[in-house]
Amino acid sequence: MKLFMVPLAPNPTKVMLYIAEREELGTQMNIEQIVVNTVKGRHKEPEHLARNPFGTVPTLELDNGSYLVESLAIIEYLEDKFPNGALLEGTPEQRGIARDVERIVDIRLAGPMGAYGHAVNSPLGYPRDDTKAAQMEAAMQAPLDYLENSLADDRPLLLGERVSIADCTLQASLQFMRYIEVDIFGDRPNLRAWDERYRARPAARAVLKW
């Protein structure tokens, strides 16, 4: 399998963290990682569009030559492909909550976070947009509070003792914010402590560049 990715971008980073976490837990997936240079616009060139008509990363090339182009679908595929040691485990209730938290992180927080980052300090050179920034900052408060409260019971990671897909999704977006030097935590010590803990993990140290 081949993963077409670019470091720093949140959606590829989420998958890269997931793969690294699984490898730390003993599952070797043997996925070749190939950089698509989005700064040079390579993701919109015919070679990449032939893999992914939407011109986005990540894109996973399967051994049968087909492609997956959605980060969560890629992770779920790898969970199915390598079920021994899958991150999503436990009772239907535990799995339901783990999926719920990942969706909350991705949809309610990571989406506004990316838009906020581009509104205040876009690495792609978008003009500053204070109105958009204020809207996105407001939208982030409820999911940030939700995560802060869920960490109040001293659990080390978002779902408890064991790393989850939600941890990968959240940290992937936070790396982008560090790169553009924007702090979105506010007065949330539990989230700050989680961030420190997560970044000290071997998988995070292997993948994160910022």
Whole-number Å distance between alpha carbons of 20 and 207 = 7
Per CB under 6 A, the list member of 1, 4, 5, 10 interacting with ligand GSH is: 10
Q: Which stretch binds ligand GSH (CB under 6 A): 7-15, 90-98, 130-138, 163-171?
A: 7-15
For position 171 contacting ligand GSH by CB under 6 A, the verdict is no
| Residues numbered 29-68 forming contacts with ligand GSH, rule: CB under 6 A | 38, 43, 55-58
* 106: CB partners within 8 A, 6+ apart: 72, 169
> In the structure encoding, which two tokens stand for residue 79, read together?
């969970």
Whole-number Å distance between alpha carbons of 37 and 17 = 19
**Closest distance of CB 69 from ligand GSH, Å:** 7
Per CB under 6 A, the list member of 3, 5, 11, 48 interacting with ligand GSH is: 11
How many residues touch ligand GSH (CB under 6 A)?
11
Alpha helices in the chain (DSSP H): 10-24, 46-49, 71-81, 92-103, 111-121, 130-150, 165-179, 189-199, 202-207
Pick 71 or 175: Cβ nearer ligand GSH = 71
Q: Which residues bind ligand GSH (CB under 6 A)?
A: 9-11, 38, 43, 55-58, 70-71
